Structure 1
Amino acid sequence: MGDAAVKVTRVTADDLPDLLVLMRAYCTFYDSDPADDELRALATAFLDEGSGGTQLIARDDSGRALGHATLLSSWDTTLGQRLAVMEDLFVTEAARGRGVGAALVEACRQLAAERGIEALAWETAPDNETAQRLYDGLADRAGTWLAYRLPTGGPAT
Structure 2
Amino acid sequence: MSDIVIRPVAASDRTLWEPLWLGYLAFYEKTVPQAATEFTWKRLLDPANPIEGLLAVAADGTALGLVQYLHHASTWSIGGNVYLQDLFVVPAARGQRIGRRLIAAVTEASKAKGAAVLYWQTEEFNGTARRLYERVAKRAPFVRYNIEL
TM-score by length of structure 2 reads 0.92
For 2:3, the aligned partner's letter is A
| Percent sequence identity over aligned pairs | 28
Compute the displacement of 1:75 (Å). Answer: 3.1
Q: Which runs of 5+ in 2 are unaligned?
A: none
d(CA) in 2 for partners of 1:21, 1:39? 11
Residue 101 of structure 1: aligned partner = 99
Look up the SS of the partner of 1:51 in the other structure.
coil
Q: Which runs of 5+ in 1 are unaligned?
A: 153-157
Aligned-CA RMSD value: 1.6
Residue 150 of structure 1: aligned partner = 147
For 2:95, the aligned partner's letter is G
How many residues are treated as equivalent by the alignment?
149
Look up the SS of the partner of 2:67 in the other structure.
strand
Compute the displacement of 1:79 (Å). Answer: 4.8
TM-score by length of structure 1 reads 0.87
Look up the SS of the partner of 2:48 in the other structure.
helix
Residues 96 and 140 (structure 1 numbering): CA distance in 2 closer, same or farther, change over 3 Å? same
Look up the SS of the partner of 2:45 in the other structure.
coil
Look up the SS of the partner of 2:136 in the other structure.
coil
Compute the displacement of 1:136 (Å). Answer: 0.9
Q: For 1:112-123, list aligned pairs within 5 A.
A: 112-123=110-121
Residue 30 of structure 2: aligned partner = 32
Look up the SS of the partner of 1:84 in the other structure.
strand
d(CA) in 2 for partners of 1:148, 1:76? 19
Residue 130 of structure 2: aligned partner = 132
d(CA) in 2 for partners of 1:137, 1:128? 15
Aligned 8 A contact 1:6 1:103 in 2 = no
Q: Which 4+ stretches in 1 moved above 6 angstroms?
A: none
d(CA) in 2 for partners of 1:85, 1:78? 15
Aligned 8 A contact 1:20 1:40 in 2 = no
